């Protein structure tokens, strides 16, 4: 019997892949850091029964139009804005993602980014390493308190709830804004629903965890930042395109907000000459929300399980469509 053909768009650890080689003919793009080129992606999509994709791969209608045999796209991310869902639906292709396994890990990173930004951790570290620490001083690297402040979570999914749980440990008041209310979270976590504008006006830390959709694109623009307190921080661990970076830069240099922590950018990787990178009140990370060894391994395994289920005629464990 011919084994189904699975193509993986990035080099992943062989020890995770190996057990699945018994069931599938598996090929991988041979580079760990270099993304696949369009030509190879098209060629492989034409042949594959399943593809395991990265969030940096654009899986659009023109690609799927050529994918005669494709039954599942397993995206190695909880987000799936890189995939044209309607094109996949038209062709009856399953799209799966990796929720749950990355929730706590991503919440850890989101909270770490918030704290690092508030307490100037990265700036203070490079201050020492550059040999600038000559004297102790009362306000040396003085930051802003986190405990007992108001946290505003925009996008109250699983990760938002996990961030809210962490915030409780810091005695924070938590507001959230979401398309739909989460009465259960309101009860169990003591979080309060707020309209977007009200949340922006009240929060000391505004954390964006909303998926990227037509509705959320650039939801953080000039108007949103102008509503925020001058002392407030903006943290983004969702998708860069939820933010108008030009407006964020202007809000920061005009001191309309105090600082920002960004794990994601409008264009990734961000150009090293981007003006946001010149600001000391901005902490930047290279989209590493779920990047721990344990969680990345679980995410890859979940993709492979989903592929195995769909190719044996079953429903994926965590499918989007």
Nearer to ligand GLV, 119 or 158 (CB): 158
Q: DSSP label at 20?
A: G
287 is catalytic: yes
Spatial separation of the C-alpha atoms in residues 306 and 308, rounded to whole Å: 5
Annotation says 239 is catalytic: yes
Site pattern 139..168 for ligand GLV (x: CB under 6 A): ------------------xxxx--------
Residue 55 within binding range of ligand GLV, rule CB under 6 A: yes
25-28 sheet: strands from edge to edge: 25-28, 5-8, 50-53, 72-75, 94-96
In the chain, helix, strand, coil percent, each to 5? 40, 15, 45
Q: Which stretch binds ligand GLV (CB under 6 A): 46-54, 96-104, 226-234, 247-255?
A: 96-104
The verdict on 306 binding ligand GLV (CB under 6 A) reads no
Query: What are the counts of helices (DSSP H) followed by strands (DSSP E) for the chain?
Result: 12, 12
Ranges within 182-221 binding ligand GLV (CB under 6 A) = 209
CB of 55 to ligand GLV, least distance (A): 6
Any alpha helices (H) in the chain, and if so which ranges? 14-17, 38-47, 61-64, 85-90, 103-118, 121-129, 158-169, 183-189, 196-202, 222-227, 245-253, 293-311
Closest chain position to ligand GLV (CB): 157
Q: Which stretch binds ligand GLV (CB under 6 A): 2-10, 63-71, 73-81, 166-174?
A: 73-81
* Pattern 244-283, ligand GLV, x by CB under 6 A: ----------------------------------------
Answer yes or no whether residue 77 interacts with ligand GLV by CB under 6 A: yes
How far is the C-alpha of 112 from the C-alpha of 156, rounded, in Å? 18
CB 125 within 8 A of CB 150: no
List of residues contacting ligand GLV (CB under 6 A): 55, 77-79, 99, 102-103, 157-160, 209, 289-290
Which residue numbers are catalytic? 239, 268, 287
């Amino acid at each position: 019997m011919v084994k189904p053909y699975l193509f993986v768009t990035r080099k992943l650890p062989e020890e995770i892949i190996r057990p699945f080689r018994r069931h599938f003919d598996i090929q991988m793009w041979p580079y760990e850091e270099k993304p696949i080129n369009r030509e190879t992606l098209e060629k492989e999509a034409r042949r594959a029964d399943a593809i395991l994709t990265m969030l940096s791969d654009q899986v659009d209608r023109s690609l799927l139009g050529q994918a005669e045999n494709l039954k599942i796209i397993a995206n190695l991310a909880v987000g799936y804005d890189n995939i044209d869902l309607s094109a996949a639906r038209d062709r009856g292709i399953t799209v799966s993602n990796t929720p749950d396994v990355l929730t706590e890990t991503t919440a850890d990173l989101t909270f770490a980014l918030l704290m690092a930004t508030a307490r100037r951790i990265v700036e203070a570290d490079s201050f020492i390493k550059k040999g600038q620490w000559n004297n102790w001083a009362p306000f040396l690297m003085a930051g802003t308190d986190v405990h007992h402040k108001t946290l505003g979570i925009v996008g109250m999914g699983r990760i938002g709830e996990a961030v809210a749980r962490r915030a409780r440990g810091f005695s924070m008041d938590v507001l959230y804004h979401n398309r739909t209310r989460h009465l259960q979270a309101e009860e169990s976590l003591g979080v309060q629903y707020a309209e977007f504008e009200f949340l922006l006006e009240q929060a000391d830390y505004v954390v964006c965890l909303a998926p990227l959709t037509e509705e959320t694109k650039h939801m953080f623009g000039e108007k949103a930042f102008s509503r925020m307190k001058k002392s407030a921080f903006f943290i983004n661990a969702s998708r860069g395109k939820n933010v108008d970076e030009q407006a964020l830069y202007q809000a920061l240099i005009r001191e309309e907000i105090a600082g920002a922590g960004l794990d994601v950018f409008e264009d990734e990787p961000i150009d090293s000459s981007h003006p946001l990178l010149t600001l000391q009140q901005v902490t930047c990370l290279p989209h590493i929300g779920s990047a721990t060894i344990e969680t990345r391994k679980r995410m890859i395994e979940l993709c492979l399980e989903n592929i195995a289920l769909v190719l044996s005629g079953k429903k994926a464990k965590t499918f989007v469509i």
